[in-house]
């Protein structure tokens, strides 16, 4: 298994601030994650863009976006899953489109950092709804190639 050992400060776009992990109250992630907003949410574009970086093993909770989400993977290797579907392994250069209202989660693989741009169009339809975590037991049960 390929291992990304060192967290990059930037993969083209800056890593940003730590938003989850030890010492940070964040109910939407398991493990450590970083966020750099690249475009704000506003009432003109309705399309915030963020750069999200997950340490190995880190992932977000199940959640839904009323306007959908487009993930553009810029680095490393990770997981993406929609409710009722298999876990997909995602890698640098992959694009994932999650339809509005579809329950899903995404995060790093066990042995690799993963960074993706997250494009959130139609943000005027409302904020993400955050749901239950992907438990350690569930995460560790994912068959890893």
- Whether 43 and 32 have beta carbons less than 8 Å apart is answered as no
Q: Which is nearer to a second copy, 45 or 144 (CB)?
A: 45
Binder among 8, 57, 100, 133 for a second copy (CB under 8 A) = 100
Name which of 134, 92, 82 is nearest 115 in CA terms.
Answer: 92
Give CA–CA dist 18/34, Å, rounded. Answer: 4
Name which of 129, 126, 125, 124 is nearest 45 in CA terms.
Answer: 124
Give least dist CB 136 to a second copy, A: 30
Q: Which is nearer to a second copy, 21 or 100 (CB)?
A: 100
Give least dist CB 134 to a second copy, A: 25
Q: Which of residues 58-97 bind a second copy (CB under 8 A)?
A: 67-68, 70, 72, 74-75, 92-93, 95, 97
DSSP readout, 69-105? EEEEEEEEEEEEEETTSPPEEEETT-EEEE-TT--EE
What are the residues binding a second copy (CB under 8 A)? 10-14, 38-39, 44-47, 49, 67-68, 70, 72, 74-75, 92-93, 95, 97, 99-100, 117, 119, 121-122
């Amino acid at each position: 298994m390929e291992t990304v050992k060192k967290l990059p400060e930037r993969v083209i776009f800056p890593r940003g601030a730590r938003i989850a992990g030890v010492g940070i109250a964040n109910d939407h992630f398991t493990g450590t994650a970083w966020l750099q907003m690249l475009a704000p949410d506003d009432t003109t574009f309705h399309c915030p863009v963020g750069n999200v970086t997950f340490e190995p093993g880190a992932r977000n909770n199940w959640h839904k976006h009323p306007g959908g989400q487009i993930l553009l993977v810029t680095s490393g290797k990770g997981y993406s899953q929609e409710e009722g579907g298999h876990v997909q392994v995602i890698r640098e250069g992959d694009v994932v489109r999650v339809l509005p209202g579809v329950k899903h989660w995404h995060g790093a693989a066990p042995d690799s950092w993963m960074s993706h741009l997250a494009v959130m169009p139609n943000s005027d339809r409302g904020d993400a709804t955050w749901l239950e975590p992907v438990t350690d037991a569930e995460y560790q049960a994912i068959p890893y190639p």
